[in-house]
Amino acid sequence: MQSINNRKGKKVKDEYWSVRGNLSYCYKGEKFYTITPLPYYLKRRKILLKKIDEVVSQLKKKKKSLKICDFGSGDGYYCCWLAKKLPESKITGFDISPSMTIEASRRAERENICNISLYCEDFNNRDASYDLVLSLAVLQHFEKVEEIAKKARQIHDHLKEGGMLVLFEATSKKPGSQQALQKRTEAFYENIFRSNGLHLIHKEFLSFPFFGFYQKIFLNNIKKLIPGDSVHKCITINRNRFMNKINNFFLNLCNPLDRLFDAQEGNTVFIFKKNNSSSPALSSSSENIVEKIDNKTRFKDY
């Protein structure tokens, strides 16, 4: 495995991520950093992995070996998952957090993965083109729309013709923010990537509104009893096995009810493609959604 690269003079400005990168806990033999309730996080991850697998299968119809970039690779989970699944392909991960990049390297070493490179820098610093780019829960932490527009253009420029982007972000019908997270509408992301030359071929909204209600009523009150800032409160809950069992119970209990209500916020998986032709939906249950929106409002943070 290639060594971690960190450009001289580079500093991680966001103290929030410096704190997050140094907090971890184990659950069922796996190391985690997320502040999202673990049962919810794992259920969401399972759905996301299925979508990534569908995209990879579609790309492999044209070529055996792929070049894949994970922009904001974090602890390297998705990089390593792809590297093991595609041993003949080249996987590259970029993250601005030194501690998370080190953890990603350790994960790759533990799993004896050789077809992976990890860099503690912005992915735009390297002159490379990819068949697939992953951007998973990254842009939701960008405060300025101009920064997202710039990153969308960079992703376009680093994608090969026919290459695809899997984007996963927190979305809401009514935009808002909390701590380091910006919740924007689906239309916002569709517009900003379309205006930068990427065509939406699929999207799927993931939400568990009843579990969200449970979080607000129960978990938020539990957090009030825990000392420290909000990050440490969430980590404390996720470290507690009993709390994970309770959260998992309520997640399964709420699941049938979630389908009956129109959720206001959640997460959306977007899949974009770099070409001028329309593409079929990835599965029979998905919709080929391409909505035309006035160019005058395409950069509006809805």
Cα distance between residue 21 and residue 37, in whole Å:
17
42-78 pLDDT tens trace: 999 999 999 999 999 999 999 999 999 999 999 999 9
159 in Cβ contact with 71 (< 8 Å): no
Q: So what's the pLDDT on residue 294?
A: 32
88 in Cβ contact with 63 (< 8 Å): no
pLDDT band at 137 (very low <50, low <70, confident <90, very high): very high
Instruction: Say which CATH architecture domain 14-276 belongs to.
Output: 3-Layer(aba) Sandwich (3.40)
pTM: 0.83
Whether the predicted pLDDT of 196 surpasses 50 = yes
Considering only 2-11, 107-116, 166-175, 204-213, which range has the smallest mean pLDDT? 2-11
Paired tokens of 127 = 């002159």
Q: Where are the domains of the chain?
A: 14-276
Q: Which of 28-42, 89-103, 274-288 has the highest mean pLDDT?
A: 89-103
pLDDT band at 96 (very low <50, low <70, confident <90, very high): confident
99: region left, alpha or beta (phi > 0 left; psi from -120 to 50 alpha): alpha
Give the mean model confidence (pLDDT) for residues 216-239: 87
Whether the predicted pLDDT of 97 surpasses 70 = yes
Is 164 strand, coil or helix?
A: strand
288 in Cβ contact with 201 (< 8 Å): yes
pLDDT band at 289 (very low <50, low <70, confident <90, very high): very low
High-pLDDT (> 90) share of the chain, %: 49
